[in-house]
Amino acid sequence: MIEIKLFGSLKKYVCGEKRVELAPDDAKCVNDVLLILQITKGEVGQILINGTPVNSSRAFNDSITNDDVVDLYPISAGG
Amino acid sequence: MNVTHGPHGYLNRILRVNLTEQTIKVEELDKGFIRKYLGGRSLALYYLLKETKPNIDPFSEANLLIFATGALTGNAGPAIPRYTVVTKSPLTGGLGASEAGGFWGPELKFAGYDALIIEGVAKRPVYIWIKDDSVEIKDAENVWGLGSCEAQEKIKDEVGDKRARVAIIGPGGEKLVRFANIGNELGHYNGRNGLGAVMGSKNLKAIAVRGSKKLKAFDEPKLKEIAKEFAKTFKENNLGYTLFEYGTTATVEALTGFGALPTNNWETGVFEGAENLFADVYNEKLLTGRKGCYACPVRCKRVVTVKDEKYKVNSKYGGPEYETIGAMGPNMGIDDLNIIAKANELANHYGLDTISLGMTISFATKCFEEGLISVEDTGGLELKFGDGDALLAAIELIAKREGFGDIMAEGSHIMAKRLGKGTEKYTITVKGQEAPMHDPRTKVGVGLAYATTDIGTDHMVAPHDGFLTDAESWSFKNAEKLGVTDPSGLFDLTETKVKNFAILNRYYRMFDTIGCCCFGFAPRGPMEVDTFLEMINAITGWETDFDELLKAGERSLVLSRIYNYREGFTAADDNLPQIFYKDMTDGPYKGKLAIDKDKFRELIRSFYENLNWDKDTGYPKKEALESLGLGEFA
């Protein structure tokens, strides 16, 4: 399974949960994760795969596989 | 629709109080003045430039302290409660300016004034009591020396009106701490630049105001419709939802993802105890209520209770916001929200800017840990990262200017100059003001803000870069209506980055003049820019557009630049602290993200050109002044 960790306001997309799991067959890249969880791209500030920042700029086409951990952080907004 | 003549939403009246002469005057503004300058920071700058001489001592009788509302302030719409305080800053030696929300600005307008100019110095401590047309300078001996809460309550008792609104300084302002602030209603602060110290230097403890007049909007039914719809729907927008649910505290989590949470005086961006400061922990551990500003349903302010007796707080002072959590928490190596809440309460009691306060103590702590100062310098105080009691003790010393607190009360920039011994390398300041809790290596537009803003490092001069990274995002689509055409990546050092920043810098400066809170309106807040424009026109009847409004924002940027150059600043002061030209030391971006110094300098030159300023000197060209109707300041 792929573990998705959500931070800040992004938790609201999964009813306030901090973690969810997705099947590797359903989520082959970061963009799949966003689509499944119905997270708007513009609300995501930073994504880490196994602690490493994604390299895709904002295309979110980075591959993920079984046992990966994907961290989704909101925009750092200031104030 | 209101068909009465005269200004709508504002008043064209200024109150002038001379504390030396004990005189009070009311002046009318020229018709068209507010539409040109919008009010707020621009109105105040106009007078500061006209009526003060260059190179005065900020604490001298010659300095002015100007409170100015915007054209929208106090009207019955969301996120328009704000006012500015402007003076010459004792922290930077340049423009001192800071905005606050709350209730004081609206009340000044209900009393019949757009702005208040304070001149001179009172012989003894006083406060000003404004009740509509009645204005009195009253003895403040009874409240001088008291903390903000106690003093405010006494003043309300004395004037016999519990609903009076009070702008006030704490003992820190009285003691001329160079980063003392001015608060209103114990939860809203003109926080930065040491404005409270200037107020203290004038022996002015507070300004209480109560008004009975109703502001007349041009189209009341339209304004009501917009306000009602916003109140009903703002939480459907993620930005509105987050501000209500968490205030600004969710920023801790967002920055943790980058390894960019300033820790131990910015030694690293990775803080082991960060999870103890996350927004859900805050809500569970501290939060007991939410507060807001006049007529605004967002209620982004926090009310907190601390269960631990040792750090019990007066809940009337509100709870820490992100900047305070950052400056007093990770930046001091502290992961206990109880201690941070206590530090916040003390800062508000004494009237001190929490950013400069936390950053000055972290600077001193770094110097201590590096052996550059010792207990002999600190009078026995052992400064250590992670030591909450040392933090709280340092706040007390600073507020009272006792012992080692006297030099810390000067702020880290002046303190380092006095200490010498190579301590300057541990300051993180621009133009003498300490950095807020955002690392510009992870959002380069914030770097442009830090470097070019005339009040010194400021994180509130444009939406942060994350709002402009995705062409399909709600924030970006709104920004397009302001002239932004292309998205820009967080770390980009490109012309697009400059262009986006320059447009939105004008837009945010427009907020600071017209009386808006950036949390209300896109790209950072939940109201769409089209609706925002409708609201401006419903209040003023101007039938204006964003071309005119952004030009007014630009006019304000030019005025503050003229002021700063008059006081001796140059393009060389538009720079970043050295730390940001080096790679991140830890976290997911370890060994990366150093801002290229030469490229960054080019971006600043490009920013100058975007504003039609000389690309070498950074000074507005004559054509720029003339095109903005500022020829008289050439």
Q: How far apart are CA B91 and CA B410, in angstroms?
A: 8
- A76·B251 Cβ contact <8 A: yes
**If you average pLDDT over residues B207-229, what whole number do you get?**
97
Query: Domain for residue A26, yes or no?
Result: yes
pLDDT (tens digit per residue) in B64-111: 999 999 999 999 999 999 999 999 999 999 999 999 999 999 999 999
Q: Which helix (H) or strand (E) holds B118?
A: strand B115-119
**B354 within 8 A of B365, measured Cβ to Cβ:** no
Which residues does chain A have within 8 Å of residue B435's beta carbon, measured at their own beta carbons? none
Residues of A with CB under 8 A from a CB of B: 7-9, 11-12, 40-43, 45-46, 48, 51-53, 57-58, 71, 73-79
Pick A41's closest partner by Cβ from B241, B463, B473. Answer: B473
- The proportion of chain B whose per-residue pLDDT surpasses 70, expressed as a percent, equals 99
Q: How far apart are CA B183 and CA A50, in angstroms?
A: 45
The residue of chain B nearest to residue A56, with distances taken between CA atoms, is: B489
Where are any strands of DSSP class E within B19-114? 23-28, 65-69, 83-88, 95-100
The residue of chain A nearest to residue B460, with distances taken between CA atoms, is: A79
Nearest to B523 by CA among B545, B508, B543: B508
Cα B458 from chain centre: 8
pLDDT (tens digit per residue) in B567-584: 999 999 999 999 999 999
CB pairs under 8 A between A and B: 108
Residue B81: CB partners within 8 Å, gap ≥ 6?
Answer: B73, B74, B101, B102, B103, B105, B106, B293, B294, B295, B296, B515, B517
Q: How far apart are CA B613 and CA B604, in angstroms?
A: 11
* Cα–Cα distance list, B550 to B153, B452, B544 (Å): 40, 18, 11
pLDDT at B5 over 70: no
Query: Domain for residue A31, yes or no?
Result: yes
Model confidence band, residue A42 (pLDDT cutoffs 50, 70, 90)? confident
pLDDT at B587 over 50: yes
Tokens for B15? 């109150």
| Count: domains in chain A | 1
pLDDT of residue B4: 54
Q: How many helices (H) and strands (E) does chain B have?
A: 24, 16
pLDDT of residue A76: 85
**A32 within 8 A of A60, measured Cβ to Cβ:** no
Pick B238's closest partner by Cβ from A43, A53, A57. Answer: A43
pLDDT of residue A79: 65
Measure B239 CA to nearest chain A CA, in Å: 9
In one letter, which amino acid is B509?
Answer: R
pLDDT at B262 over 90: yes
- B238·A45 Cβ contact <8 A: no
Which residues does chain B have within 8 Å of residue A5's beta carbon, measured at their own beta carbons? none
**If you average pLDDT over residues B553-566, what whole number do you get?**
98
pLDDT at B411 over 70: yes
Separation of first and last alpha carbons in chain A: 37
Q: Which residue has the tokens 């729907």?
A: B233
Give yes or no for a cis peptide into B523 (omega within 30° of 0): yes
CATH number, domain of A50, equals: 3.10.20.30
Confirm or reject contact between B322 and chain A (CB < 8 A).
yes
pLDDT of residue A55: 75
**If you average pLDDT over residues A29-58, what whole number do you get?**
91
Residues 351-390 of B with CB under 8 A from A: none
Which residues does chain A have within 8 Å of residue B459's beta carbon, measured at their own beta carbons? 78-79
- The proportion of chain B whose per-residue pLDDT surpasses 90, expressed as a percent, equals 99
Query: Domain for residue A65, yes or no?
Result: yes
**If you average pLDDT over residues A1-19, what whole number do you get?**
94
pLDDT (tens digit per residue) in B247-256: 999 999 999 9
Q: ipTM of the predicted structure?
A: 0.94
Query: Domain for residue A43, yes or no?
Result: yes
Domain that holds residue A21: 2-74
pLDDT of residue B2: 47
Query: Domain for residue A58, yes or no?
Result: yes
- A78·B442 Cβ contact <8 A: no
**B217 within 8 A of B223, measured Cβ to Cβ:** yes
Model confidence band, residue A41 (pLDDT cutoffs 50, 70, 90)? confident
Pick B469's closest partner by Cβ from A51, A58, A73. Answer: A58
Q: Strand, coil or helix: what is B494?
A: coil
Q: How far apart are CA B68 and CA B316, in angstroms?
A: 26
pLDDT (tens digit per residue) in B143-185: 999 999 999 999 999 999 999 999 999 999 999 999 999 999 9
Angle formed at CA B365 by CA B364 and CA B371, multiple of 5 degrees: 90
Q: How far apart are CA B305 and CA B289, in angstroms?
A: 9
Q: Which residue has the tokens 């300084």?
A: B169
Among positive and negative, which fits the CA dihedral B431, B482, B484, B254?
positive
pLDDT at B317 over 60: yes
pLDDT (tens digit per residue) in B455-512: 999 999 999 999 999 999 999 999 999 999 999 999 999 999 999 999 999 999 999 9
Assessment of whether the complete model's pTM goes beyond 0.90 = yes
The residue of chain B nearest to residue A71, with distances taken between CA atoms, is: B257
Measure B556 CA to nearest chain A CA, in Å: 21
Query: Domain for residue A22, yes or no?
Result: yes
Model confidence band, residue A77 (pLDDT cutoffs 50, 70, 90)? confident
Nearest to A79 by CA among B323, B240, B97: B323
Residues 458-487 of B with CB under 8 A from A: 459-460, 463-464, 466-467, 469-470, 472-476, 487
Q: How far apart are CA B207 and CA B201, in angstroms?
A: 15
Query: Domain for residue A79, yes or no?
Result: no
